[in-house]
Structure 1
Amino acid sequence: MVTSLIRRTFQALIVLFAMTAIVFVGVNVIGNPVDILINPDANAAEKARVIAHFGLDKPLWEQYLRFLGGIVQGDFGTSFVYNKPALGLILERMPATLELAFTALFIALAVGLPLGLYAGLYPNRVSSKVIMSGSILGFSLPTFWVGLMLVLVFSVELGWLPSNGRGDTVELFGVRWSFLTGDGLRHLLLPAFNLALFKTSLVLRLTRAGVQEVLPQEYVKFARAKGLTERRVIFVHVLKNLMIPVITIVGLEFGSLIAFSVVTESIFAWPGMGKLIIDSINLLDRPVIVAYLMMMVVLFVVLNFVIEICYTLLDPRVRLNARD
């Protein structure tokens, strides 16, 4: 087990190093931030001063080495636009994005798991077929269109929920959270539901497929033959085993909730990392873009690592293979 964890850690470090080069080169070959940051009427001397100030006059390889040195020290550079540490800007916006992502994940699991379990246990019922037909909408409808419709219906026409912003927040453990206030929850509902729609359909269909695969297994038939109650068979033998693929997908999808919340945050003016990265791309704020992308890389690497650990807890076969 320890050997496996060490090997996984080493592989993760290699992936991180490779991604630093890909991200840095990819970002630096797109556009020239000087054209946006400097007044077009500025003279050559002023442009040269700004270019030297941001270190853009150095060769790309030298910029990359300085970038790597900064990462080791936890420094991703200073934002061209805000003149603040890029990592600090992202960490300021991270709680809002995490709050939105966790709420969306909670909605997806709270709705998708029971509906998928029901549809898998009773596949021939009309209600199950209606559920599965409805799940297709979650895959088919574009996120931006659903977001606009939610704003139009619940904010403009009915006036039940606010259409933008984060609302009132309360500080907890030094971080501002909106889900702890009534006004914050009202602001959170629409963007969280919009972000959760696709994931809910995914969890629902994964759960249904898992139930259909697990039910015919011998250990389920044996559990029923022993006279166990149907509730115990479902929640101990069926649900536990189908959670292995569900955890894998949900773990990776949580990373995508954070990484690709850009559309939802833009529609609802949610002040998270997605909104920041859109603004940074428009202004070619390279340090913020690179820092954001590297944060996403670290997030997915950590999620994969956590999923590996969850495997060992849920599936004894993984532990046995690790010992071998």
Structure 2
Amino acid sequence: MSVYLLRRLIQAVGVVLAMSLIVFVGVFAIGDPVEILISPDADQMERERAIKALGLDLPLWQQYGIFLGKALQGDLGRSFVFNEPALTLIMQRMPATLELALAATFGAILIGLPLGLYAGLRPNSVGSKAIMAGSILGFSLPTFWVGLMLIMVFAVQLGWLPSTGRGETVTILGTRWSFFTMDGLAHMVMPALNLALFKISLVIRLTRAGVRETMLMDYVKFARAKGLSPFRVTFVHVFKNILIPVVTVTGLEFGSTIAFSVVTESIFAWPGMGKLIIDSINVLDRPVIVAYLMIIVLMFITINLIVDLTYSVLDPRVRLEGK
């Protein structure tokens, strides 16, 4: 296990370094923030002074070297717009995005697993066919359209749920959370559902495929021949063996939910990292953009490692030390 962890950490360092270079060069090429940040009425001397203050007068390789050196010390740069550390800005918005991603992921598991299990155990029933048809809709409908329809139906026409914002929050350990207030939960329902629709469909199809494949295995037939109850066969012999692909995809999708919650946060005015990155792109706030992308890379690496380690818990046959 220790050798595996060491190898994965070395790989992670290489990936982070490569991505930092790609991200930095890519962000540098998307435009000139001076044109947006500095008033058009400013004279040339003021412009040059501002450019020097922002460090934009240095060659690209030198800017990258300064960024990398500071990043190793935990400093991912200072926002051009807010004049605050980019990491601080992102960390202030991260709890909002994390709780939205957690709500969407848990919702996908709680809804998708039972539906997929039912569809796999009774593939020819009317209910199973309806579930699979619904999963196709979950894959096909665009997120922005679903979000707008949710607002129009449940907020505008029915008035059941608030349309935008995060709602009331409580501070726990210095961090604001809306999980623990009824108003916060009401504000979270629609954006979490909007994020979860694709993942519900994915979990349904993965679970159904896993059940259909596992039901044909010899050990399941043997368990039935021994006279075990259908409940025990399903939840002891079948369910545990279909969890590995579900855990893998769900773990990776959790990272995707965090990274690509931009559309949902913009539609529902959810004050998370996605909303921050959109605002930063609009004003070419390079330090915030680079810091956000680097944090997303680190999240994906961490989630991949956690998923790999979870394998050994779900199935001891999986050898982490394998070639």
TM-score between both structures, scaled by the size of structure 1: 0.98
- After superposition, the C-alpha distances for 1:94-120 in whole angstroms (9 at most, x for unaligned) are 000001000011110110000000000
Is residue 322 of structure 1 aligned with residue 317 of structure 2? no
Distance (Å, rounded) in 2 between the aligned partners of 1:197 and 1:262: 15
Residue 305 of structure 1: aligned partner? 305
Which stretch shows the higher mean deviation, 125-134 or 308-317? 308-317
Distance (Å, rounded) in 1 between the aligned partners of 2:293 and 2:20: 9
Is residue 203 of structure 1 aligned with residue 203 of structure 2? yes
Residue 217 of structure 1: aligned partner? 217
Residue 31 of structure 2: aligned partner? 31
- How far 1:323 moved relative to its partner? 6.7
Distance (Å, rounded) in 2 between the aligned partners of 1:100 and 1:228: 41
> For residue 22 of structure 1, what is the amino acid of its counterpart?
I
Secondary structure of 2:176's counterpart equals: strand
CA RMSD of aligned residues (A): 1.1
Is residue 158 of structure 1 aligned with residue 158 of structure 2? yes
Secondary structure of 2:184's counterpart equals: helix
Distance (Å, rounded) in 1 between the aligned partners of 2:244 and 2:207: 10
Distance (Å, rounded) in 2 between the aligned partners of 1:307 and 1:185: 28
After TM superposition, the structure 1 = structure 2 runs for residues 226-305 of structure 1, keeping only pairs within 5 Å, are 226-305=226-305
Distance (Å, rounded) in 1 between the aligned partners of 2:29 and 2:293: 15
- How far 1:317 moved relative to its partner? 2.0
Residue 137 of structure 2: aligned partner? 137
- After superposition, the C-alpha distances for 1:298-321 in whole angstroms (9 at most, x for unaligned) are 0000011011101111122223x7
Residue 127 of structure 1: aligned partner? 127
Residue 16 of structure 1: aligned partner? 16
Aligned pair count? 323
Point out where structure 2 has 5 or more consecutive residues left out of the alignment.
Answer: none
After TM superposition, the structure 1 = structure 2 runs for residues 20-169 of structure 1, keeping only pairs within 5 Å, are 20-169=20-169
Secondary structure of 1:171's counterpart equals: strand
Residue 193 of structure 1: aligned partner? 193
- How far 1:228 moved relative to its partner? 2.2
- How far 1:3 moved relative to its partner? 1.3
Percent same amino acid at aligned positions?
67
Distance (Å, rounded) in 1 between the aligned partners of 2:71 and 2:290: 11
- After superposition, the C-alpha distances for 1:269-310 in whole angstroms (9 at most, x for unaligned) are 000000000000000000000000001000000011011101
> For residue 231 of structure 2, what is the amino acid of its counterpart?
R
Residue 181 of structure 1: aligned partner? 181
- After superposition, the C-alpha distances for 1:129-162 in whole angstroms (9 at most, x for unaligned) are 0110111110010000000000001111111111
- After superposition, the C-alpha distances for 1:58-91 in whole angstroms (9 at most, x for unaligned) are 0100100111111111001100000000000000
- How far 1:176 moved relative to its partner? 0.8
Secondary structure of 1:176's counterpart equals: strand
Distance (Å, rounded) in 1 between the aligned partners of 2:172 and 2:132: 40
Distance (Å, rounded) in 2 between the aligned partners of 1:224 and 1:6: 44
- How far 1:223 moved relative to its partner? 1.9
Distance (Å, rounded) in 2 between the aligned partners of 1:241 and 1:195: 27
- After superposition, the C-alpha distances for 1:170-211 in whole angstroms (9 at most, x for unaligned) are 112221111211111110101111111111011111110110
> For residue 248 of structure 1, what is the amino acid of its counterpart?
T
Distance (Å, rounded) in 1 between the aligned partners of 2:10 and 2:196: 34
> For residue 271 of structure 2, what is the amino acid of its counterpart?
P
Distance (Å, rounded) in 1 between the aligned partners of 2:11 and 2:227: 47
Point out where structure 1 has 5 or more consecutive residues left out of the alignment.
Answer: none
- How far 1:232 moved relative to its partner? 1.6
> For residue 71 of structure 1, what is the amino acid of its counterpart?
A
Which stretch shows the higher mean deviation, 135-144 or 218-227? 218-227
> For residue 246 of structure 1, what is the amino acid of its counterpart?
V
Distance (Å, rounded) in 1 between the aligned partners of 2:79 and 2:18: 23
Stretches (4+) displaced over 6 A: none
Rate the CA distance shift 1:284–1:131 in 2: closer, same or farther, 3 A.
Answer: same
Secondary structure of 1:75's counterpart equals: coil
